[in-house]
Structure 1
C-alpha cells in the first residue's frame, strides 16, 4: 500500500511552501488509494505551540485535504531513544563535545586548506576518561551518526538519479546536548515504523535524504521512494524565505483566495502541465504526476491566485453563495438577481460588499463637465414604470435619437452617472435592480 505523510513543525502558520509539500504527498496517496498521514513534528517543546497544531488542521480542512490519521512525535520519544540505543550498540552513534566556536574554527581551517568543511570525527579518538572529563567540564555532548563514507545513491522522483559522496557530508547530529531528539532521527524512525513508502519534500532536503538513507538501512528499514520538488521563488526569481510569513494560508484566505484556486495552482506550478482551474478534487488527483515536475526554482506570484478565484466564483450558482449574500443584508427575493448582476464583476467574495453598497446606498455620480447637459437630457427620457432588462436598450435608443450621441460617448456617461464607475455589470441588468432597491429605500 502507498503511504505518504505531511510532517509540519507547529512553530508557525503553514504557508504556500508547506502546502506544496502537503498537496503532493496527499495527491500521491489518494491516486494510489493509499494512506495520508498528518504527522506533527513537535519534538521541540519550546517552539512547538498547540495553537499552531489547531491552525494547521483548520487550514488543511479548509482546503479539503483530509488525513487518515494523526501522529505526534512528542508521543513517540521512547521509540527514538530505543533507536538511538540500537545505533550505539552497532557502533554507529558517538558522543561529541565541540563547542560551536570550535566547530566554526575547524570549518574555516578546512576551507582555507581547500577541503570540504565537514566534521573531522575527532570525538571518535576520545577514550572513556577523556569523555568523562569533557562531560564534567561542558555537560553532555551531542550524539552523531557515523556515516559509512561511500556513495549514497537513489532514483529521485523529480531529480532523477542522485549520487552523493558521504565523505563530503558531516556525520549528522541526531540528539542535542540537552537530550532533544532532532528531526533527522525522529523522521527516520517514524517513516520506518509507519511504513511510509513515498516522501515528497523540498530540494533543500537532498543532503539530508542521503544521511537518512544510511540511518534507515542501519535500523533495518525499507527505503521510501524520495522525490524532491523545486523551491519557490518570487515572481522575479527572488527568495521567498523572508516573505513566507506573509504567505500563510490563513492570510491568503483572509484576502479572499478560494481553496479551488490555491489547489489548482499548487498542483501544477513547476510542472510541464498548464495550470487549469479544477473545482473537483478527483480531477486534481487524476491529473497529478510527480514525474512531470522540474528541478528548476519555481516562480510563485500570489497575484496568479486571483484570476483563478474569479473564474471559480463565476461558476458558482446562487444557492452556493446564498449564505454569504444574506450576510450583506440583501433581501432574499432580490438576492438571486443581485448575484446574477455581480458574479462576473468580482475577484473575491469580499468584492460583493462594494457592489451591494452601490445598489443599496447609491453611488456618487461621476459626470464630466462636457457631459452635464447630456445627462440632464437623458434623465428626462428615462422610461416610467417598472424597468426590465429591455429598458436599457429602449432608453439609450431614445437618448441617441434625441442627442445624436452613439457608442462610448453615449453609454459611458450614463454608466458613470448611475453607478459612479466606468466598468461593471451589464447595465441592462443594473438598471432594473437599481430601480427596485431605490424604490424600497
Structure 2
C-alpha cells in the first residue's frame, strides 16, 4: 500500500514552504487510496512546543488535509536507541569528540588545500583509553554513521537520475553529545518501520537523502521512492527563507485566503500544468502528477492567492457563507440579497465587514463641488424607503427629467453620494439594501 508522511517539527507554525511538502505527500497517498501519516518530529525537547503541535493540526484541518494517523517521535526514542545499537554492533557507528572550533579549523584547512570540507574520520583511530580520556575531559562525544565511500544512486521522482559520491560527504552525526537523536536516523527508523513508500521533500534534502539511503540499507529496510521538489522564491526570485515566518498558514487564514485557493495554487505551482481554480479536493487529487514538476526554483507571490480566493467565493451559494454573514448581523430577510450584491465585489470574506458597515450605517458621501447642487436636488426627489429593484430606475428617471442630466453625469455623482465609491455593484441592487442614507447636498 502507498504510504506517505508529513513530518513537521513543532518549533513553529506551518508556512507555505511546509505546505508544499505536506500537500504533495497527501495527494500521492490520496490518489493511490493509501495512508497519509502526520508524524510530529519532536525529538528536540527544548524547542518543541505543544501549542505548535495544535497549530499544525489546526492548519491541516483547515485545508482539508486529513491524516490517517498521528505518530510522535518523542514516543519512539526506544526504537532509535535499538537502531543505534544495531549500527554499533555492525561497526557502522562511532563516537567522535572534536569541538566545533576544531571541526571548523579542519574544514578551513581542507578548503585551503582545494579539498572538499569532509570530516577526516580521525575518531576512528582512537583506542579505548584515548576515548575514555576525551570523555573525562570533554564529556560524551557525538555519534557518526560510517558511510561506505561509494556512489549513492537513485531515480528521483522530480530530479531524475541522482548520483552522489559518498566520499564527498561527511559521515553524518546521528546522535548529539547530549543524547538527542537527530532527524537523519529518526526519520529512517520511522520510514522503515511505518512502511513509508514515497517521500517528497525539498531539494535542500538531496545530500541528506543520499546518506539516509545507506542507513536504510544498513538497517535492512526498503528504500522509499524519493522526490525532491524545488524551493520557493519570492516573485522576483529573491530568497523566501527570511520571509517564511510571515507566510504562516494561520496568517493567510486571518487575511481571508480560502483553503481551496491556496491548495489550487500550491498543487500546480512549479509544474508544467497551469494553475486552475478547483472547488473540491477530489479534482486536485485526480489531476496531481509528481512527474509534472520541475527542478528550477519556483516563484511564489502571496498576492496571487487573492484573485483565486475571489473566484472561489464568486461561485459559492449563500448557504456556504451564511454563518459568516449571520455573524455580521445582517438581517435574515436581506442576507441572501446582500451576498448576491457583494460576492462579485470582494477579494476575501473579510471585505464583507466594510460592505455591511456601508449598508447598515450609510457611507460617507463623496460629492464634488460642481455636483453639490445637483446631489442636493436629487436627494430631495428620493422617496422614502423601503426600496426595491425598480426604485433606482424610477428615481434616476425623475432626477433626469428635473435636472436634464444624463449618462455618467447623472449616475456617477449619485453612486458616489450614496456609497462613497466610484465603482461597485449595480445600484438597482444596492439601493434596496441601504439601511441608512447619509447623503447631504
Q: State whether TM-score is above 0.5.
A: yes
Number of the residue aligned with 2:151? 151
Residue 239 of structure 1 corresponds to: 239
SS at match of 1:438: coil
Corresponding residue number in structure 2 for 1:353: 353
Q: Tell me how far 1:321 sits from its aligned partner.
A: 1.2
Return the alpha-carbon distance in structure 2 between the equivalents of residues 168 and 372 of structure 1.
Answer: 79
| Match of residue 160 from structure 2 | 160
> Residue 332 of structure 2: SS of its match in structure 1?
coil
75-84 vs 380-389, which moves further:
380-389
Q: 1:12-411 counterparts in 2 under 5 A?
A: 12-382=12-382, 386-411=386-411
Superposed displacement of residue 322, structure 1: 1.3
Distance 2:162 2:121 in 1: 25
Q: Which runs of 4+ in 1 moved over 6 A?
A: none
Q: How far, CA to CA, are the matches of 1:106 and 1:123 in structure 2?
A: 13
Give the TM-score normalised by the residue count of structure 1.
Answer: 0.97
Q: 2:139, 2:385 → 1: CA distance? A: 90
Q: How many Å separate the matches in 1 of 2:137 and 2:339?
A: 73
Q: Secondary structure at the match of 2:13?
A: coil
The match for 2:436 is 438
Residue of structure 2 in register with 1:415 after alignment: 415
Following superposition, the deviation at residue 10 of structure 1 comes to 0.5
Aligned counterparts of 1:111 and 1:397: Cα–Cα separation in 2: 84
Cα deviation 1:146-168 (Å, max 9, x = unaligned): 11111111110110111111111
The one-character-per-residue Cα deviations of 1:197-224 (angstroms, maximum 9, x if unpaired) are: 0000000000000000000000000010
Cα deviation for residue 341 of structure 1 reads 1.2
Cα deviation for residue 401 of structure 1 reads 4.0
CA distance in 1, matches of 2:392, 2:277: 34
The offset of 1:384, in angstroms, is 6.0
| Aligned-residue offset at 1:278 | 0.8
Query: How much does 1:139 deviate?
Result: 0.7
Q: Output the CA distance in 1 between the equivalents of 2:98 and 2:377.
A: 89
The residue number in structure 2 matching 1:427 is: 427
Deviates more, 1:106-115 or 1:403-412: 403-412
Q: Aligned with 1:170: secondary structure? A: coil
Aligned equivalents of 1:403, 1:211: Cα separation in 2: 83
The secondary structure found in structure 1 opposite 2:388 is coil
Q: What per-residue deviation string (whole Å, max 9, x for no partner) do you get for residues 279-326 of structure 1?
A: 101001001111111111111111111111111111111112111111
> Number of residues paired by the alignment?
437
Distance in 2, matches of 1:165 and 1:90, equals 22
Could you tell me how far 1:386 is from its partner in structure 2?
4.7
Offset of residue 339 of structure 1: 1.2
1:432 to partner: Cα distance:
1.8
Q: Deviations over 1:156-203 (max 9, x none)?
A: 011011111111100000001111110000000000000100000000
Name the CA distance, whole Å, in 1 between partners of 2:7 and 2:182. 14
Q: Distance in 2 between matches of 1:320 and 1:385?
A: 30
Q: Distance in 1 between matches of 2:42 and 2:273?
A: 36
Q: 1:372 to 1:146 in 2, by over 3 A?
A: same
Once residues 325 and 208 of structure 2 are traced to their aligned partners in structure 1, the CA distance between those partners, rounded to angstroms, is 50
Q: Equivalents in 1 of 2:68, 2:386: separation in Å?
A: 57
**Equivalent position of 1:6 in the other structure:** 6
Q: Which moved more, 1:313-322 or 1:92-101?
A: 313-322
Q: Compared with structure 1, are the counterparts of its residues 384 and 131 closer, same or farther at alpha carbon in structure 2 (3 Å cutoff)?
A: closer
Deviation at 1:404, TM superposition (A): 3.7
Give deviations 1:69-111, integer Å, cap 9, x for gaps.
0111111111111111111111111110000000000000000
Given the superposition, is the C-alpha separation of residues 385 and 187 from structure 1 closer, same or farther in structure 2, using an over 3 Å criterion?
closer
Bigger drift between 183-192 and 420-429 goes to 420-429
Deviation at 1:383, TM superposition (A): 5.1
The 1-side partners of 2:391 and 2:272 are apart by 50
Structure 2, unpaired ranges of 5+? none
Decide which moves more: 340-349 or 95-104.
340-349
Q: 1:376 offset after TM fit, Å? A: 2.3
- Secondary structure class of the residue paired with 1:192: helix
Deviations 1:2-29 (A, max 9, x none): 0000000001111111111000000000
Q: Distance in 2 between matches of 1:202 and 1:411?
A: 55
